[in-house]
């Protein structure tokens, strides 16, 4: 007879740096923990109808009848800990990490076992000190039901868990709705294009609305005199009611373009409005009702009208850069579907995106976009460890990027695809040339600056890699992938001799994605180099709880073996087993 099972909300929590705390003052730490459990944790569990399954010296496992109650309990004692720690020296603070999962569990007496429990424990291990990390299954039960915002931290491969788990982390005291610090305006006309609303009433057409915006951003990016915020940062506002003035302050831009798209059979309606974000005044607005076959003409007209409204004299002088178009609307549409899947940053979506880009190439072998996106998705498969045949994927990606450049050498995105695949291939001179070409074609192209920084870092030019990485982050300040961009910057700062700055940058990366092993590795290296060994060991402990992805710094280590040796030495000092 099989063991009984049930669905339960599981909360796992443990004390950060428990060994260090007990090593310094074992008796005092245990006394404080007992008091915390008596005065704070146990009452919170009772209040939210939980049951303590078991406790260990530094941890606790609790089950709840609902995920909402589990999250409310976690918020209760994490916020309680904040107030208790306000007057306590940092090195003496007791802080908890919390992981919450909704899953099937096995009942064994008073104990609970199984993957439902294991996932909660792994989530706790990658949570920030004082933070709460929840699974995708838990998130869908609590979104909009508790007084905290959550940030999507992407899919992660947790140790000894068969399938990747998409995780979300609570933004305690840093609510997403809260205004971010204002960024200064750049020294040239600046704009952000917000995601257009899908007004078709069909969620399947979401990719189409996103594709229209992608095309407009691509066209504007080619205007050398314009500072344009990168797509991924603009899209952090998708699905949110926004104040245009606030968007302008947060992104550091003068103008904001917003709109909507309705697609019905072979007809499209696109509405757009350009707003001065400093005053909220509407500068230009238009509505287009056209046949679907006129989509490219509409995009070109929107781009030119926006440019003319912002800086008519510069437009007269420089004009709009011509963009290679396809007459095959099916190929264009297929690429947009692939782009939508690409931007989901999930394993299954990545493989679907690759299928679609391959299909688009069959539909129109001379479409540069199809080839460059095939190159980009190949780079993503390598970077995230999703490739089952790295040699074949690198070859396909490189060939696709080279073909894209051959078809349209003035396309900065094609040059970027070549730069990033060339970094993975170890062809660093070619990577640098392609990145520099992308920037020359489009000075406000964030990915071009990112690729140049990565190419220079991989080539061992740490000091020269800092500026392009910093500029990329200014052009895309809220990109969900900024944990990787900041990781590149942190290593550049480290090997340029700025170890404290590197540590601070890596901490910013950790705040975006706590469970990314390369970030934890960089933090351990920085702390060991600064002789902050307790912190270094803590980061190593977190690393050991996670499945290690492919080495994203392999090209750099191959080119600079002395850097690789120093990184390995610092990790040994931090306690990483050989």
List pLDDT tens digits, range 456-498. 999 999 999 999 999 999 999 988 889 899 999 999 999 999 9
Q: Are strands 255-264 and 190-193 parallel, antiparallel or unpaired?
A: parallel
The predicted structure's pLDDT at residue 178: 41
The predicted structure's pLDDT at residue 63: 95
The predicted structure's pLDDT at residue 535: 82
Cα dihedral sign, 162-544-503-91: positive
Task: Give the pLDDT mean for 540-550.
Answer: 81
Task: Give the pLDDT mean for 552-556.
Answer: 89
What six digits make up the tokens of 368? 């540069």
Task: Give the pLDDT mean for 268-290.
Answer: 87
C-alpha 569/C-alpha 46 separation (Å) is: 48
136 phi and psi angles, rounded to 5 deg = -60, -40
pLDDT band at 326 (very low <50, low <70, confident <90, very high): low
Q: How many CB atoms neighbour CB 316 within 10 A?
A: 9
C-alpha 98/C-alpha 12 separation (Å) is: 6
Between the CA of residue 60 and those of 63, 177, 255, 405, 498, what are the distances in Å?
A: 10, 32, 50, 56, 39
Strand partners, 271: 260, 287
Q: Which of 176-190, 225-239, 269-283 has the lowest mean pLDDT?
A: 176-190
The predicted structure's pLDDT at residue 120: 94
The domain limits of the chain are 5-170, 190-318, 481-578
The predicted structure's pLDDT at residue 319: 44
Task: Give the pLDDT mean for 366-393.
Answer: 93
Return the higher-pLDDT residue of 252 and 40: 252
Highest average pLDDT, of 143-152, 274-283, 363-372, 501-510, comes from 363-372
Domain 5-170 class, CATH top level = alpha beta
Cβ-proximal residues to 27 (8 Å cutoff; 6+ apart), any chain: none
The predicted structure's pLDDT at residue 307: 66
The answer to whether 194 and 257 have CB atoms below 8 angstroms apart is yes
What six digits make up the tokens of 325? 């178009």
Task: Give the pLDDT mean for 277-281.
Answer: 88
Between the CA of residue 383 and those of 131, 288, 518, 525, 545, what are the distances in Å?
A: 27, 40, 11, 21, 20
Chain CA centroid to CA 357, Å:
22
Q: Are strands 190-193 and 51-55 parallel, antiparallel or unpaired?
A: unpaired
pLDDT band at 26 (very low <50, low <70, confident <90, very high): confident
Q: Output the furthest CA–CA distance in the chain (Å, rounded).
A: 81
The closest of 253, 276, 245 to 191, measured between CA atoms, is 253
Q: Which of 139-143, 285-289, 339-343, 346-350 has the lowest mean pLDDT?
A: 285-289
Task: Give the pLDDT mean for 423-446.
Answer: 94
The percentage of the chain sitting over the pLDDT mark of 70, rounded to a whole number, equals 94
What's the whole-number average pLDDT of the chain?
87
Helices (H), 15-163: 18-36, 42-47, 67-85, 115-126, 136-142
Highest average pLDDT, of 173-187, 235-249, 521-535, comes from 521-535
The predicted structure's pLDDT at residue 538: 82
The predicted structure's pLDDT at residue 498: 96
Q: Is the pLDDT of residue 44 over 50?
A: yes
The answer to whether 76 and 62 have CB atoms below 8 angstroms apart is no
The answer to whether 284 and 309 have CB atoms below 8 angstroms apart is yes
The answer to whether 302 and 216 have CB atoms below 8 angstroms apart is yes
Classify domain 481-578 by CATH number: 1.25.40.10
What six digits make up the tokens of 529? 């180099």
What six digits make up the tokens of 279? 């005053």
pLDDT band at 518 (very low <50, low <70, confident <90, very high): very high
C-alpha 564/C-alpha 264 separation (Å) is: 56
C-alpha 438/C-alpha 408 separation (Å) is: 12
Q: Which of 146-150, 165-169, 362-366 has the lowest mean pLDDT?
A: 146-150
Task: Note the pLDDT tens digit of each residue in 70-86.
Answer: 998 998 888 878 767 76
C-alpha 270/C-alpha 287 separation (Å) is: 6
Angle of CA points 212, 244, 203, to nearest 5°: 40
The predicted structure's pLDDT at residue 172: 76
Query: What DSSP state is assigned to residue 555?
Result: H
C-alpha 231/C-alpha 224 separation (Å) is: 17
Q: Is the pLDDT of residue 90 over 80?
A: no
N- to C-terminal Cα separation, the chain: 44
Q: Is the pLDDT of residue 286 over 60?
A: yes
Fold of 190-318: Rossmann fold (3.40.50)
Cα dihedral sign, 44-48-54-58: negative
| Collapsed DSSP state (helix, strand, coil) of residue 233 | helix
Q: Which of 280-284, 445-449, 529-533 has the lowest mean pLDDT?
A: 280-284
């Amino acid at each position: 007879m099989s063991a009984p099972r049930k669905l339960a909300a599981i909360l796992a929590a443990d004390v950060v740096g428990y060994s260090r705390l007990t090593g310094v003052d074992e008796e005092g730490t245990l006394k404080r923990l007992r008091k915390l459990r008596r005065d704070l944790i146990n009452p919170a569990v009772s209040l939210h109808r939980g049951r303590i399954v078991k406790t260990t010296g530094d941890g606790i496992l609790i089950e709840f009848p609902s995920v909402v109650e589990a999250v409310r309990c976690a918020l209760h004692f994490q916020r309680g800990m904040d107030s208790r720690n306000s007057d306590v020296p940092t090195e003496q603070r007791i802080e908890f990490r919390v992981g919450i999962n909704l899953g099937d569990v096995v009942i064994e007496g008073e104990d609970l076992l199984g993957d439902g429990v294991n996932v909660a424990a792994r989530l706790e291990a990658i949570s920030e000190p004082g933070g709460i990390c929840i699974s995708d299954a838990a998130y869908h039960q609590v979104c909009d039901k508790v007084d905290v915002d959550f940030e999507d931290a992407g899919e992660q491969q947790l140790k000894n868990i068969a399938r990747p788990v998409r995780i979300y982390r609570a933004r305690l005291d840093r609510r997403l709705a809260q205004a971010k610090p204002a960024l200064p305006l750049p020294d040239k006309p600046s704009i952000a294009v917000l995601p257009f609303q899908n007004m078709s009433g069909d969620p399947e057409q979401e990719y189409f609305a996103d594709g229209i915006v992608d095309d407009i951003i691509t066209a504007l990016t080619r205007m050398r005199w314009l500072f344009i915020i990168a797509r991924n940062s603009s899209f952090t506002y998708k699905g949110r009611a926004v104040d245009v003035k606030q968007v302008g302050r947060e992104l550091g831009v003068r103008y904001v373009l917003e709109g909507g798209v309705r697609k019905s059979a072979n007809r499209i309606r696109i509405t757009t409005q350009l707003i001065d974000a400093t005053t909220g005044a509407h500068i230009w607005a238009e509505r287009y009702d056209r046949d679907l076959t006129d989509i490219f003409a509409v995009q070109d007209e929107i781009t030119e009208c926006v440019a003319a409204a912002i800086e008519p004299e510069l437009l007269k002088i420089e004009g709009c850069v011509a963009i290679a178009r396809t007459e095959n609307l099916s190929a264009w549409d297929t690429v947009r579907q692939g782009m939508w899947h690409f931007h989901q940053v999930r394993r299954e979506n990545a493989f679907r995106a690759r299928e679609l880009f391959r299909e688009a190439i069959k539909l129109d072998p001379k479409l540069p976009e199809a080839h460059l996106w095939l190159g980009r998705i190949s780079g993503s498969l390598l970077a995230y460890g999703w490739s089952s045949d790295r040699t074949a994927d690198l070859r396909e990606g490189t060939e696709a990027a080279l073909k894209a450049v051959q078809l349209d050498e003035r396309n900065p995105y094609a040059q970027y695809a070549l730069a990033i695949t060339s970094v993975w291939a170890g062809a660093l001179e070619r990577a640098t040339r392609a990145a520099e070409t992308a920037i020359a074609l489009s000075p406000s192209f964030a990915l071009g600056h990112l690729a140049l920084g990565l190419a220079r870092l991989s080539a061992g030019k740490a000091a020269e890699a800092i500026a392009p990485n910093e500029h990329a982050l200014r052009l895309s300040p809220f990109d969900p992938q900024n944990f990787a961009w900041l990781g590149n910057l942190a290593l550049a700062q480290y090997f340029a001799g700025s170890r404290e700055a590197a540590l601070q940058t890596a901490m910013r990366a950790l705040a975006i994605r706590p469970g990314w092993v390369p970030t934890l590795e960089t933090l351990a290296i920085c702390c060991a180099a600064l002789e902050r060994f307790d912190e270094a060991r803590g980061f190593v402990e977190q690393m050991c709880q996670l499945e290690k992805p492919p080495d994203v710094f392999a090209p750099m280590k191959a080119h600079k073996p002395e850097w690789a040796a120093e990184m390995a030495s610092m990790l040994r000092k931090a306690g990483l087993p050989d």
